[in-house]
Amino acid sequence: MCNALRVRWTIIPQTAPQPWIACSGCGGLRAFQSSGKTRLNANGRKLDAWLIYKCLSCEKTWNRPIFERQNIRDIDPAVLEALHANDPHWIRRETFNLEALRRKAQRVDEFPEFDIQKEVLHDTLDWTRLDIDLRVSLPTSTRLDRLLASELRVSRARLQALHDGGALWTNPDRADILRRRVKTGTRVMIDLSTEAGREQVWRPLVQGGPL
């Protein structure tokens, strides 16, 4: 532990998934994107709520149900408040609700581009091991090997070889973890004790920002 450079990487996906919906404007299946707006409709004590999407080709709208004909009493007050306020954080989170989108669309496009924030949790000058604590702000389709390859500038083949040789391991661990989506709470450890360029080459990539 004391010979580890420990960092936290927070992955922030850039683009929400886009469902393909039959567009009445275009007359065929088209990709739709959230407008960032919701609509509430009250009918006595029942409420409907939708997230408004727009066709990327013609801007025709599609109302994605959040809930329909729900008794006001049964709705989480926090959700109701977010809907009334058009809360951008709540709406953004909902646009990444892949399960809900897949219930409404056979095809949902996902986008692997992300922003990343890096912070050092534990530093030492004679480190020989990297310890990366992964956080994902919203569900992302980015695979772990692609994330590590782009951030550490090593090939995916090399990452696989490190993993196979036991110099890269994760917690939780599973054989195919490199090919799976990045999950919050995953820790990646890489033994770099035989690497000469730890400070010069690896550290700036690992901790980000100017040295």
Residue 59 CA to residue 48 CA, distance in Å, equals 23
Least distance (Å) between residue 144 CB and Zn ion? 36
By CB under 5 A, tell whether 204 contacts Zn ion: no
Binds Zn ion by CB under 5 A, chosen from 25, 28, 88, 204: 25
By CB under 5 A, tell whether 56 contacts Zn ion: no
Strand partners, 65: 50
Which is nearer to Zn ion, 101 or 206 (by Cβ)?
101
Least distance (Å) between residue 13 CB and Zn ion? 25
Residue 86 CA to residue 95 CA, distance in Å, equals 13
Least distance (Å) between residue 204 CB and Zn ion? 46
Least distance (Å) between residue 134 CB and Zn ion? 38
Binds Zn ion by CB under 5 A, chosen from 14, 57, 171, 193: 57
Strands (E), 44-195: 46-55, 61-71, 108-109, 114-122, 129-136, 168-171, 187-191
Binds Zn ion by CB under 5 A, chosen from 37, 46, 60, 135: 60
Binds Zn ion by CB under 5 A, chosen from 5, 47, 55, 188: 55
Residue 189 CA to residue 171 CA, distance in Å, equals 8
Least distance (Å) between residue 45 CB and Zn ion? 35
Which residues, including other chains, have CB under 8 Å from residue 129's CB and lie 6 or more apart? 3, 4, 5, 189, 190, 191, 192, 193
Which one of 5-13, 18-26, 114-122, 161-169 is the stretch in contact with Zn ion (CB under 5 A)? Answer: 18-26
Find the angle CA(49)-CA(51)-CA(56) to the nearest 5 degrees: 155
Q: Which residues bind Zn ion (CB under 5 A)?
A: 23, 25-26, 30, 55, 57-58, 60
